[in-house]
C-alpha cells in the first residue's frame, strides 16, 4: 500500500533533474485486491527492502531522495459496523476500513485482516475467516480481528513500517422475524397475528408500530413463534408500520405490518345485472316504469387492495344534484334516515360486509315520468352523489355519481 | 285473554300448507331439550333476539323502549326447552306476552296488540308485490309503503322513487303475495321466507304520536328520534349478522 508521496511525484513531473530519475519499478498484480499495485522500491536512504507500495502505472517514475512513505494510517482501522446487529440464525458480513494516507480517504482494508477473526463468545456469535458473522443466540459479544503484518505510515517519518494491527467491536445478536401473518389489518379492529422467526426467547415484547396495542397470547418453547392480538386503534397511522420483537435488550429486524383504511369501493367483475321494470308502482300508488341494477361491491384500502374482513358496518348518504328529470323526491337507503337535506345515514344500521369484505348493492328506480302515456319511454335522468361510509369512515375520495334513467342506472358513468 | 284471541285471529288467514310445515318445524325447535343455556341481556328485546339467534327461532318483537323493558337479565337455564326459556324471559317483563305463531314466535306488549295507533295492524295494499326480490329490499319497500300510508304529506303526484339496498348477506330472490295481510303478518311472511329472521318494532315511550295518530317508532341501531317523514321504522335482522348493541341502554 505504501506509495510515493504525491508531492514528491508532482515535483518530479514538474521537471526534476535527469540524474535523479530512476526507471519505474516492476509492477506486480495483487491477488488480494485488483485495485492495488505492488512494487519493489528503493527507500530514500538508499536501503532497499520489499514493500507493498503501489505505483500507478501512469506515473511511470519516482524520485530518489524526495519520496516519503505513504500508506495506511495505523490508528485509523475500525470495523464497518460497531455494534454489528446480527439476527439470530442469520449471517451478516463484517469488514475493516482504514485511512489510506496516499489516497487521503478511507478504504476497505478487510483483505488485510483475512483469517484473523474471532469472537469472544461463540455460543452467541461465530465468525469465519472472511468476517462473516453468524448469530447463534440472542445476546451480546465482541469481535476481535488481527491483521497480517501490514505497512503503515508513521507521522514525521519517511519510512513505512510493518505492523500487525487489531480491531475490536461489539456484536448484538437480535431476534429475527421471518414473517408476520396476516401482514395487514383493518383500522379500528383487533387482528390475531402469528409472528414466525427465531430468538424470541420466552418472554418477548412486540412493538407493532404507532397506534397499535399488543396482547401476546402464546410464545413457543423454542422462541420461534409468537401469537398476539394487534389492537389497531382508530387513531393508528395508515400504511406500513415497522413491527419488531424485543428479547431482553435486543430488538429484531423490522417487518412491515400494513394498517388498512377503507378508501374505495369497486364493482366485482361478473356480478353486474340490470332488469327493466316495465310496470312498477310507486309507494304512492302511481304507475311508472323503472329499472333495477344489482352488483357486488368490494371494499378496498388506500393502496387499492381488497379488505377481506367480515362485518364491516356500512351505510350511505345520497344527495340529489340539480338534475332531477325523473322527479325523484327522495331515496330510500340502506340505513334510512336523513343527513341534512340528503337521504341516508352513515350507520351502523345492521348492514355488514361478508367474509370477503363485499356486499351486494341494489339500486331500484320507479318513476311515473318514465311512463307518461301508458308505455315506457326515456325521460332524461336524475343525477345524485352517493357517499359511502365503512365503519363510520366516509369514503370521501370515492364519491359515486349515480345517474338514474328509465332503462338503466349508471355508477360513475358506467 | 281477549287480546290473545284477537292476535290469533289476525294470524289465521296467513296459514297455508307450507306454513303448516314451518309451524311443525318451529314447534319442534321450541320443544327440543336444551342442556344448559346462559343469557346476559340488556333488556327484553335484546334477550329475545339472542334466544332467537341462538336457537334459530324466527321472531317478531313489538316493544316499548322504556326503563321497565331495559331491565338487565342474567340467567342460566338447565335442561329446559327454548319455549321454557322464552316464557321465563317474558315473565320477567310485566305486561308482555309470548305467542307462538305458525312460523314465527311473537313477543309483544299486550296493550299494544290491538292499539289503533299500532301501524302493524294496517293492511298491505293490493298494489304491493314482491317478485323475485331480495327479502331485505322487499322489507324496505314495504316500509316505504307504510310510511306513505301514515305520513302527514305523502308523495306528491308524479313523484318517482328510488331505493338503494345493500347487504352482505347472500339473499335469495323471493316471490311473495302479501296484499291484504296486516303489516305484522307481512313481516312474519318475510322473516320466515328470507334470510332476515327477526323483525323488531321499537315504539317510543313518547306519548306524542305522529299527526296521523300512529305511535312513534325508533331503530335499535341508534337512539335518535326519527323525523315524521321517516315514520314508522323497524329493524329487520339476520341471524348471520351482528345484533345491535349500541343503543341498548336505558334512557
Give per-residue pLDDT as tens, B13-69.
Answer: 444 445 566 777 888 899 998 779 999 999 999 999 999 999 999 999 999 999 999
pLDDT at A66 over 90: no
State the average pLDDT over residues B129-147: 94
Q: What is the pLDDT of residues A191-238, one digit of tens each?
A: 999 999 999 999 999 999 899 999 999 999 999 999 999 999 999 999
In A229-248, the residues whose Cβ lies within 8 Å of chain B are none
Yes or no, beta carbons of A334 and B166 under 8 Å apart: yes
Helices (H) and strands (E) in chain B, counts: 6, 11
Residue A118 contacts B, CB cutoff 8 Å: no
Asked if B155 lies within 8 A of A386 by C-beta distance, the reply is no
Is the predicted pLDDT of residue B9 greater than 50, yes or no? no
Between A and B, how many residue pairs show a Cβ–Cβ distance under 8 A?
A: 155
Please name the residue ranges forming H helices in A54-194. none
Per the CB < 8 A criterion, the answer to whether A45 and A67 are in contact is no
For residue A374, name the pLDDT band (cuts at 50, 70, 90). Answer: confident
Q: What pLDDT shows up at residue B223?
A: 79
Least Cα separation, residue A396 to chain B (angstroms): 19
Residues 311-350 of A with CB under 8 A from B: 311, 314, 316, 318, 326-338, 344, 347-350
Whole-number Å distance between alpha carbons of A138 and B225: 61
Asked whether the beta carbons of residue B160 and residue A367 sit closer than 8 angstroms, the reply is yes
Q: Is the pLDDT of residue A13 over 50?
A: no
Q: What is the pLDDT of residues B193-229, one digit of tens each?
A: 999 999 999 999 988 888 889 999 999 998 778 888 8
pLDDT the model gives residue B25 = 84
- Taking each helix axis as running N to C, give the angle between helix B44-55 and helix B82-91, from 0 to 180 degrees, rounded to the nearest 10: 180
pLDDT in tens, A318-345: 998 889 999 998 799 999 888 888 999 9
Rounded CA-CA distance B55/B102 in Å is: 17
- Interface probe, candidates A350, A352, A369, chain B, greatest B C-beta count within 10 A: A350
- CB contact under 8 Å between B170 and A354, yes or no, is yes
What integer pLDDT is reported at residue A67 of this predicted model? 58
Rounded distance, CA B194 to CA B191, Å?
5
Cross-chain Cβ contact B161/A366 below 8 Å: yes
Pair type for strands A342-343 and A338-339: antiparallel
- DSSP conformation letters of B148-178: HHH-SSPPPTT-EEEEEEEESS-PPEEEE--
Q: Which band of pLDDT confidence, cut at 50, 70 and 90, is reported for residue A285? A: confident
* B180 φ/ψ angles, rounded to the nearest 5 degrees: 90, -15
* Measured distance CA(A339)–CA(A327) in Å, rounded: 20
Q: At what angle do helices B183-193 and B135-150 cross, to 10 degrees?
A: 170
ipTM: 0.86
| Residue among B142, B125, B126 nearest B134 (CA) | B142
Cβ <8 Å between A332 and B162: yes
Our CA angle for B174, B240, A310, nearest 5°, is 115
Percent of chain A with pLDDT over 90: 71
- Max CA distance (Å), chain B: 60
Indicate yes or no: CB of A349 within 8 angstroms of CB of B221.
Answer: yes
C-beta atoms of A362 and B145 within 8 A:
no
Which is higher by pLDDT, B118 or B18?
B118
Query: In chain B, whose CA is at the least distance from the CA of A354?
Result: B168
Q: What is the pLDDT of residue A311?
A: 94
Yes or no, beta carbons of A326 and B160 under 8 Å apart = yes
Please tell me the pTM assigned to this model.
0.77
- The distance of B160 to chain A (nearest Cα, Å) reads 4
Residue B246: closest C-alpha in chain A: A348
Q: Cβ of A350 and B137 within 8 Å?
A: no
pLDDT, tens digit, 9 for 90 and up, residues B163-204: 999 999 999 999 999 999 999 999 999 999 999 999 999 999
Q: Which of A38-47, A393-402, B21-30, B224-233 has the highest mean pLDDT?
A: A393-402
Domains in chain A, start-ordered, CATH in brackets?
3-70 (no CATH), 74-174 (2.60.40.1080), 176-260 (2.60.40.10), 264-411 (2.60.40)
Q: Chain A residue closest to B160 (CA)?
A: A367
Which residues of chain B neighbour A282 with C-beta distances below 8 Å? 155, 159-161
Amino acid at each position: 500500500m505504501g506509495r510515493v508521496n504525491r508531492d514528491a511525484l508532482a515535483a518530479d513531473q514538474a521537471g526534476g533533474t535527469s540524474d535523479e530519475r530512476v526507471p519505474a519499478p516492476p509492477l506486480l498484480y495483487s491477488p488480494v485486491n485488483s485495485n492495488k499495485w505492488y512494487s519493489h522500491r528503493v527507500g530514500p536512504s538508499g536501503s532497499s527492502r520489499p514493500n507493498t507500495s503501489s505505483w500507478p502505472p501512469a506515473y511511470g517514475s519516482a524520485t530518489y531522495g524526495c519520496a516519503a512513505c505513504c500508506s495506511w494510517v495505523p490508528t485509523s482501522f475500525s470495523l464497518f459496523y460497531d455494534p454489528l446487529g446480527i439476527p439470530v440464525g442469520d449471517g451478516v458480513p463484517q469488514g475493516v476500513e482504514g485511512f489510506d494516507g496516499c489516497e487521503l480517504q478511507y478504504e476497505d482494508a478487510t483483505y488485510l485482516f483475512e483469517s484473523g477473526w474471532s469472537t469472544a463468545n461463540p455460543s452467541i456469535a461465530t465468525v469465519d475467516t472472511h468476517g462473516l458473522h453468524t448469530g447463534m443466540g440472542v445476546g451480546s459479544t465482541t469481535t476481535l480481528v488481527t491483521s497480517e503484518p501490514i505497512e503503515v505510515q508513521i507521522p514525521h517519518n519517511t519510512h513505512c513500517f510493518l505492523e500487525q494491527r487489531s480491531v475490536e467491536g461489539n456484536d448484538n445478536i437480535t431476534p429475527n422475524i421471518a414473517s408476520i401473518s396476516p401482514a395487514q389489518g383493518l383500522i379500528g379492529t383487533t387482528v390475531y397475528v402469528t409472528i414466525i422467526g427465531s430468538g424470541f426467547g420466552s418472554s418477548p415484547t412486540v412493538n407493532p408500530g404507532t397506534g397499535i396495542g399488543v396482547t401476546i397470547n402464546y410464545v413457543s418453547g423454542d422462541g420461534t413463534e409468537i401469537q398476539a392480538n394487534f389492537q389497531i386503534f382508530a387513531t393508528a397511522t395508515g400504511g406500513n408500520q415497522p413491527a419488531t420483537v424485543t428479547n431482553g435488550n435486543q430488538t429484531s429486524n423490522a417487518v412491515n405490518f400494513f394498517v388498512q383504511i377503507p378508501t374505495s369501493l369497486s364493482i366485482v367483475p361478473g356480478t353486474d345485472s340490470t332488469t327493466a321494470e316495465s310496470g312498477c308502482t310507486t309507494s304512492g300508488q302511481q304507475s311508472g316504469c323503472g329499472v333495477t341494477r344489482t352488483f357486488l361491491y368490494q371494499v378496498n384500502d388506500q393502496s387499492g387492495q381488497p379488505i377481506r374482513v367480515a362485518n364491516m358496518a356500512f351505510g350511505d348518504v345520497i344527495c340529489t344534484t340539480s338534475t332531477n328529470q325523473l322527479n325523484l323526491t327522495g331515496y330510500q337507503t340502506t340505513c334510512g334516515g336523513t343527513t341534512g337535506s340528503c337521504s341516508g345515514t352513515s350507520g351502523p344500521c345492521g348492514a355488514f360486509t361478508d367474509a370477503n369484505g363485499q356486499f351486494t348493492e341494489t339500486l331500484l328506480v320507479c318513476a311515473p315520468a318514465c311512463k307518461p302515456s301508458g308505455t315506457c319511454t326515456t325521460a332524461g335522468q336524475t343525477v345524485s352523489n352517493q357517499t359511502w361510509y365503512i365503519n363510520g369512515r366516509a369514503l370521501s375520495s370515492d364519491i359515486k355519481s349515480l345517474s338514474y334513467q328509465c332503462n338503466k342506472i349508471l355508477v360513475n358513468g358506467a | 285473554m281477549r287480546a290473545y284471541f284477537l292476535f290469533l285471529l289476525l294470524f289465521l288467514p296467513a296459514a297455508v300448507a307450507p306454513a303448516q310445515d314451518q309451524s311443525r318445524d318451529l314447534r319442534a325447535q321450541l320443544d327440543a331439550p336444551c342442556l344448559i343455556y346462559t343469557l346476559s341481556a340488556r333488556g327484553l328485546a335484546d334477550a329475545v333476539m339472542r334466544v332467537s339467534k341462538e336457537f334459530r327461532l324466527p321472531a317478531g318483537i313489538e316493544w316499548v323502549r322504556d326503563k321497565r323493558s331495559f331491565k338487565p337479565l342474567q340467567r342460566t337455564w338447565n335442561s329446559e326447552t327454548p319455549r321454557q326459556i322464552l316464557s321465563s324471559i317474558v315473565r320477567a317483563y310485566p305486561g308482555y306476552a309470548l305467542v307462538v305463531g305458525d312460523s314465527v314466535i311473537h313477543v309483544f306488549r299486550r296493550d299494544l296488540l290491538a292499539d289503533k295507533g299500532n301501524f302493524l295492524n294496517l293492511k298491505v295494499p293490493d298494489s304491493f308485490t314482491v317478485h323475485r326480490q331480495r327479502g331485505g329490499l322487499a322489507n324496505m319497500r314495504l316500509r316505504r309503503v307504510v310510511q306513505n300510508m301514515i305520513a302527514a304529506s305523502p308523495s306528491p303526484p308524479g313523484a318517482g322513487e328510488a331505493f338503494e339496498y345493500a347487504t352482505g348477506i347472500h339473499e335469495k330472490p323471493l316471490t311473495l303475495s302479501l296484499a291484504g295481510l296486516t303489516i305484522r303478518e307481512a313481516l312474519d311472511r318475510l322473516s320466515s321466507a328470507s334470510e332476515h329472521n327477526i323483525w323488531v318494532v321499537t315504539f317510543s315511550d313518547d306519548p306524542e304520536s305522529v299527526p296521523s295518530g300512529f305511535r312513534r317508532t325508533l331503530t335499535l341501531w341508534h337512539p335518535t328520534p326519527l323525523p315524521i317523514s321517516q315514520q314508522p321504522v323497524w329493524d329487520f335482522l339476520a341471524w348471520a349478522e351482528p345484533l345491535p348493541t349500541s343503543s341498548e341502554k336505558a334512557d
